[in-house]
Amino acid sequence: MTWQARIAKALGATISDARPLQGGDLSQVFRVELADGRRVAVKLGALVGAEARMLAAMQASGAAVPKVIWSGDGLLCLEWLDETQPSPDGWQALGETLARLHAVRGPRYGWDADYAFGRVRIANAPCDSWPDFWADRRLMPFVPDLPAPLARRIEALALRLPEHLPASPAPALLHGDLWTGNALFAGDQAYLIDPACYHGHDEVDLAMLELFGRPDAGFWAGYHACDPGREARRPVYQLWPALVHLSLFGAGYRGLVEGLLDQLGA
């Protein structure tokens, strides 16, 4: 059965139009028009079931996410959201929804399953020490594939992480890949999309949000106050997505990795 036929069976309406969308790094993404007038976002891929579970966990926190309409066998149907340009109220809504997400606590750092960004595996085995989690699950897996000088710098930093990171911050529920493209603004609302959830230090999401841009002041008005020293910890947390980009997209991101290591004196 084709995915179009599966959607028709699951949603009780035939498809009148389906258009591929950009940005499907982990799955194929389509805007689908149904014959009964409904519009849905459709994802196809091996990890969409895991994404559905993450969205459910996020929704349970009170965070704004697209509603899961149907999920099964590599197919995910989501509420369609009409995207608009971010407004100050939208940025504040993003801060508020992220605060609700981060208020949820897990028993340990990590998640109950691994995930992936393309060929980059995301190890999420639970851990009781936050510096150990960040070293063993986020930094060290890249070392075997890095040029030797860069690998040595990552190894040295991993050994010194207790100097940079708190030992036991609250294990907040994280979006896990919160660059600005994964915040969808619709009018004065903001929704979290394309998660890679696990439990960890809430500053991880903030650092990612600041890696390739800066949130509007309204975001900080909606989010709760941050702990002292966040700016010093930010490069540690930005290093992981920088390494992901280096692995996926090549040497053009080596300068970003090295610049973050320079900031950390590593």
- Please list, in sequence order, all residues whose beta carbon lies within 8 angstroms of the beta carbon of residue 76, skipping any fewer than 6 positions away: 27, 42, 43, 44, 48, 49, 51, 52, 68, 70
pTM: 0.94
**Annotated catalytic residue within 89, 177, 188, 216:** 177
DSSP reduced 3-state for 166: coil
Read off the pLDDT of residues 111-132 as tens digits, 9 standing for 90 and up.
999 999 989 999 999 999 999 9
pLDDT at residue 225, as a whole number: 86
230-249 helix and 254-263 helix, angle to the nearest 10 degrees: 160
pLDDT at residue 25, as a whole number: 58
Report the share of the chain in percent with pLDDT over 70: 98
> Residue 131: which H helix or E strand, with range?
helix 130-133
Q: What is the mean pLDDT of the chain?
A: 95
d(CA 23, CA 174): 21
Q: Do domains 3-79 and 88-264 have the same CATH topology?
A: no
CATH 3.40.50.300 for domain 3-79, yes or no, is: no
CATH number of 88-264: 3.90.1200.10
d(CA 117, CA 35): 34
pLDDT at residue 24, as a whole number: 54
d(CA 250, CA 241): 13
Residue ranges of the domains in the chain?
3-79, 88-264
Mean pLDDT (whole number) for 2-24: 85
d(CA 211, CA 216): 14
Read off the pLDDT of residues 95-104 as tens digits, 9 standing for 90 and up.
999 999 999 9
Q: Is 25 a catalytic residue?
A: no
